[in-house]
Amino acid sequence: MTPILLDRTKINDARWDQLISSSKQCVLYAHTFYLDIVCGGWQALVWPDQSSYQIVMPLPVRIKWGKSIVFQPLFCQYLGLFSMDSLTEADFLAFTRSLSNHFSYISCYHFNPENFNTLSKIKDQLAEFTFVTYHTHWLSLDKPYRQIGASYSADRRVNVSRSKKEGWAFELSIEVETLIELFEANHSELIAGGVNQNAYGMLKKLFVAAESTGIAELWYAKKENVIHSGILLVRYAGRVIYLFNASDPVGRKGNARSGMLDMYFLQHAGEAFIFDFESPEVDQISGFYKSFGSQAIPYLKVSKNRLWFPFRQIQHWRVSYFLKPNQVFAQALIRFKVHFKRADF
């Protein structure tokens, strides 16, 4: 098996999206429209040829130092291999070796959770990569609300109860600017180095695209007609993604996000969906998501640095200088994998 590397211009959108939709690993992040928004210059490894796809691997790519670099974009928790058939160890070896042959530097690339078990078995054969296990948190909604609520931690049940006593008005909206303004005013200063304004533009485009196809839900929590908190959810192919949220001090103190999430679980209890919290590797935040009774689901991050001198030394210096070991929380924020999440704690 020899996967073929294709530029974005060579990818057949209809065939690609059909495969993603039918794949065992189906997730919204891997669709062409989504990748075009979060990384316009993406490429892909495909097999068996450029006109028919049985296995695909989307690769977000940008140019740095005159070289093509693979990275994990904002608002895109994981990608990896996608296929309608079961993937074998040989499939993963062929694709990861092809990835390594084409790219000397991979800042980070996340394989989807469905890839975890098979990829874990062969990672020792891929010495050029560094593997790290990350976790997201999934909550199955295919049970009665009584059972969902019973899995909340004692503290979460208390905070949900407090949220109900606050008298929040929860409303659906198609206006995402307020959510972004809430984040800018109350969370952006926590991001080391600040927030690139392009990130907000990207979020707007994602919301417009998702809302136009009826898969986005934007909820706001209001008091006296003033919005204090908001959550953005995207529902697709058996999964609800907790894509973005923000809250001001009033919303945090009043547990508005806990209340909105509990409301959503009540509305959709018994449906065959997985709620993906998109957890970052930050104990305080993942602990909040775990408190709803969600399960930690592992996936693998890979990285590789085979740059020529002096680029490798420059990159090592940059990482060691800016990402100091005692700045664990700041490091997670710098990576942006938190997707700007903060919890009601």
More reliable by pLDDT, 318 or 179: 179
Contact status, residue 239 vs residue 276, Cβ threshold 8 Å: yes
> Is there a single domain that holds both residue 36 and residue 72?
yes
Give dist(CA 35, CA 96) in Å, integer.
20
> Is there a single domain that holds both residue 240 and residue 148?
yes
pTM for the whole structure: 0.88
Instruction: List helix spans (H) across the chain.
Output: 13-22, 32-38, 89-102, 116-122, 145-150, 154-165, 177-186, 197-212, 249-253, 256-268, 283-290, 311-322, 328-334
> Is there a single domain that holds both residue 277 and residue 149?
yes
Number of domains in the chain: 2
* 261 has pLDDT over 90: yes
* 308 has pLDDT over 60: no
Tell me the pLDDT tens digit for each residue of 143-172.
999 999 999 999 999 999 999 999 999 999
Q: What is the pLDDT of residue 32?
A: 98
Tell me the CB-side half-sphere exposure of residue 23, using CA atoms within 13 A. Answer: 28
Domain that holds residue 39: 4-128
Average pLDDT over residues 201-229: 97
Contact status, residue 110 vs residue 52, Cβ threshold 8 Å: no
Q: Residue 79 has what DSSP assignment?
A: B
Q: What is the pLDDT of residue 192?
A: 58
The CATH number of the domain where 253 resides is what? 3.40.630.30
CB under 8 Å to 7, separation ≥6 — which residues?
Answer: 43
Q: What is the pLDDT of residue 40?
A: 84
Closest CA to 84 of 25, 15, 31, 23: 23
With residues binned 3-state (H G I as helix, E B as strand, rest as coil), the percentages for the chain, rounded to 5, are 40, 30, 30
> Is there a single domain that holds both residue 49 and residue 170?
no
